[in-house]
Amino acid sequence: MNDAAAAASITLLRTTEALRAALAKPLASGLHLVSTPIGNLGDMTLRGIATLAAADVIYCEDTRHSRTLSSHFGFAAPLKPYHEHNGEAARPHILAALAAGKRIALISDAGTPLISDPGYKLVRAVIDAGYTVSCVPGASAVLSALTISGLPTDCFLFVGFMPHKAGARAARLAELATTDATLVLYEAPSRVAACVADIATVLGDREVAVARELTKLHEAVLRGPASVIAQQLAVSEPPGEFVVVIAPPHAGVVSDDMIRARLQTAMTETSTRDAAQAVAEALGVPRGRVYDLALALKREQERS
Ligand code: SAM
């Protein structure tokens, strides 16, 4: 057995032990908010598995959807619906079960419950009734997109979904225009191009990162000025799920590092002049600035 294979078998052994220990630990009575994967079953945490395996009932948005996760891991607890249409009727049953000492889990279709998903009113009711609420953190599209966006992470504001209608969306963006933070929002595939075009118009041509199909096979991130990314998205309605991350005011200028990274690829394919022209157009920055950086890069490459 080589070193890598030996290390892999130790990892397998340790992970199995950790899961066994998590499964053996009794689960306390209360409401357990369990994050589930956003597209990759490998992102289910050990504690998440152990909690759902020990729960008396698993509440979810759509029982047919969550059956896939439940069957995959072999959870025995019944799946019951909890969503915006039955929440009011379901909450007294959940509170009664907690009074009887039951372990109740809440999951959503994907990611972290309550984050643009049902659960807030339930958590409030459980706290007000004096029962315990605990969480098993895990996947969420907000943080996944933010961390790979390349935009500032020290202060950010998650604004959920934008209004569907163009006028209301522009008004909401205008309210956010002076917020001194990176903005993160969810958007549907049918509206993402229009939304990013509105960002360019209402917020100015800030740098954005549009993350698509995070953690899935076709995960991709488009980064650049909002006007340029809006054009790329408008070419054809892209399939998948999207998170849009927007640079704070004044921080969204295209950096020299970003230009150099694009030039490095472009200069392997075409002349310095044409590469500078193409990168300037793609990033929406003056051609002279890109050309100066391209010449400096060429000199560095010739020296090394
Ligand atoms: N509770 C979830 C979470 O923690 O991320 C979000 C639920 S919200 C109803 C669904 C939206 O999240 C999608 O429309 C999309 O904007 C975003 N989303 C979820 N999974 C995603 C993924 N794999 N890639 C990109 N965006 C995703």
Residues spanned by the domain of 299:
256-303
CB of 214 sitting under 6 A from ligand 1: yes
Looking up residue 76, the CATH number of its domain turns out to be 3.40.1010.10
The answer, yes or no, to whether residue 36 has pLDDT greater than 80, is yes
CB of 108 sitting under 6 A from ligand 1: yes
CB of 115 sitting under 6 A from ligand 1: yes
* Judgement on whether residues 70 and 153 belong to the same structural domain of the protein: no
Model confidence pLDDT, tens digit, residues 215-251: 999 999 999 999 999 999 999 777 899 999 999 997 6
CB of 272 sitting under 6 A from ligand 1: no
* Judgement on whether residues 157 and 171 belong to the same structural domain of the protein: yes
Domain boundary among 139, 156, 175: 139
The answer, yes or no, to whether residue 280 has pLDDT greater than 90, is no
The answer, yes or no, to whether residue 26 has pLDDT greater than 70, is yes
* Judgement on whether residues 36 and 156 belong to the same structural domain of the protein: no
Q: Measured in angstroms, how far is the CA atom of residue 235 from the centroid of ligand 1?
A: 23
pLDDT confidence of residue 251: 64
* Judgement on whether residues 195 and 277 belong to the same structural domain of the protein: no
Ligand 1 pocket, mutate which of 114, 186, 191, 219 (most atoms under 8 A from CB): 186
Model confidence pLDDT, tens digit, residues 287-302: 899 999 999 999 998 8
Pick from 50-59, 117-126, 184-193, 261-270: least confident: 261-270
Structure tokens at 60: 């979810």
> Can you tell me the distance from the alpha carbon of 211 to that of 198, in angstroms, rounded to the nearest whole number?
17
pLDDT confidence of residue 253: 60
Atom of ligand 1 nearest to the CA of 141: 5
Amino acid letter at 219? Answer: E
Per-chain mean pLDDT for the chain? 94
In a domain, 251, yes or no: no
Contacts of 249 (CB under 8 A, 6+ apart): 177, 178, 179, 180, 203, 204, 206
Strands 207-212, 242-246: parallel, antiparallel or unpaired by DSSP? Answer: antiparallel
In a domain, 186, yes or no: yes
* Judgement on whether residues 122 and 151 belong to the same structural domain of the protein: no
Query: What is the SS3 assignment for the chain?
Result: CCHHHHHHHHHHHHHHHHHHHHHHCCCCCEEEEECECCCCHHHCCHHHHHHHHHCCEEEECCHHHHHHHHHHHCCCCCEEECCCCCHHHHHHHHHHHHHCCCEEEECCCCECCCCCCCCHHHHHHHHHCCCCEEEECCCCHHHHHHHHHCCCCCCEEEEEECCCCHHHHHHHHHHHCCCCCEEEEEECCCCHHHHHHHHHHHHCCCEEEEEECCCCCCCEEEEEEHHHHHHHHHCCCCCCCEEEEECCCCCCCCCHHHHHHHHHHHHHHCCHHHHHHHHHHHHCCCHHHHHHHHHHHHHHHHHC
pLDDT confidence of residue 257: 74
Model confidence pLDDT, tens digit, residues 65-89: 999 999 999 999 999 999 999 999 9
* Judgement on whether residues 7 and 134 belong to the same structural domain of the protein: yes
Percent above pLDDT 90 for the chain: 86
The answer, yes or no, to whether residue 58 has pLDDT greater than 60, is yes
Band of pLDDT at residue 285, cut at 50, 70 and 90: confident
The answer, yes or no, to whether residue 252 has pLDDT greater than 60, is no
pLDDT confidence of residue 258: 75
Percent above pLDDT 70 for the chain: 99
CB 103 within 8 A of CB 30: yes
